[in-house]
Amino acid sequence: MANIVIVGSLNLDFVVQVARLPQRGETLPGSQFVTLPGGKGANQACAVGRLAQPNTSAMIGCVGQDVYGQQLLESLRACGVNNRYVRGAPEAATGIALILVEASGHNQIVVVPGANDCLRPADVTEALTVLGGSHLLLQLETPLATVTAAAAHARSSGITVILDPAPARELPAELLNDVNVLTPNESEALALVGAPGDHIALADAPDVARRLRALGPRQVILKLGAQGAFLADGERAWHFPARPVEAKDTTAAGDCFNGALATALAEGMTLDAAIAFANVAASIAITRIGAQASLPTRAEVEQALG
């Protein structure tokens, strides 16, 4: 049994540090290159693994039968995540991500899904039947049919569904109707409501959140970067300011937020307390380079909370 189950992607990240992000056709020198474990699903799983009690999280996904896949399985294991339900797919290589990170902490990412596209609805429903759990974390770097099947199975089993709608794409009503908590960032939220742009002014957050709730999810938490988070649940709308820090790399900040949110909720914290906990965890992650390498421990978050 696992309290928190994560269904999603596992990628090996190829990360290059640059002074600024290149324009189209431009070649720039990089200052540092590293390979690090990543993928939105695995990032969220490792965030839970570092923040939650031991042996309370499990990951469902696919990797290739190659050295990159073995690295990703070992990273999950090292974070205390049950990786038994990560299938080795013989038909594809492990997914990768090419990431450029500029001095401000902003990034550009290109993902090659590889084995992540091999995750089948049956893989998920069979594993969830065995694992059970109280909370399910989902993202959109695996096939949409698989994500939809996972949400439907979880909802019918009384499991709280938390969906990070990333990367941004149009989503079917059947999926959104099975979501308890939707956690888009600014560009994802605007894409879902059919609005242009990639920034939400704080004054506009209530309207955007209201329009998102009308699509089906019970609660919406907008992840607004340096502005913090904004909650709308039908009864109230509330802003949670961000903890001010100097950002070095925003990669996986949203994944860290979701993993921390699920951890706090699974432990019985109120939604307000869980958002505050997740805000602090994400603020620590952006002060470090990398995805899983940036994720904080429980002790670090509790120390920052005071």
**Predicted pLDDT of residue 50:** 97
* Residues 220/231, Cβ–Cβ less than 8 Å: yes
Token pair in block for residue 278: 């997740």
**Predicted pLDDT of residue 152:** 98
Report, as residue numbers or ranges, the catalytic residues.
Answer: 255
Q: If DSSP codes are grouped into helix, strand and coil, which group holds residue 149?
A: helix
Q: Strand 11-18 and strand 32-38: pairing?
A: antiparallel
* Residues 28/62, Cβ–Cβ less than 8 Å: no
Alpha-carbon separation of residue 55 from 60, 81, 133 (angstroms)? 15, 7, 12
Q: What is the mean pLDDT of each run of 10 residues along the chain (306 residues)?
A: 90 95 95 93 97 94 98 96 97 96 89 97 97 97 98 98 96 98 98 96 97 98 97 94 92 95 97 97 93 94 94
Q: What is the CA radius of gyration of the chain?
A: 18
**Predicted pLDDT of residue 2:** 66
Write out pLDDT tens, residues 63-97: 999 999 999 999 999 999 999 999 999 999 999 99
**Predicted pLDDT of residue 218:** 98
- C-alpha 65/C-alpha 172 separation (Å) is 32
In a 13 Å sphere around the CA of 139, the CA atoms on its Cβ side amount to 26
Give me the CATH code for the 4-305 domain, please. 3.40.1190.20
Question: How do the domains of the chain map onto residue ranges?
Answer: 4-305
For residue 4, report the phi and psi dihedrals to the nearest 5 degrees.
-125, 125
**Predicted pLDDT of residue 179:** 98
**Predicted pLDDT of residue 38:** 93
- C-alpha 141/C-alpha 47 separation (Å) is 17
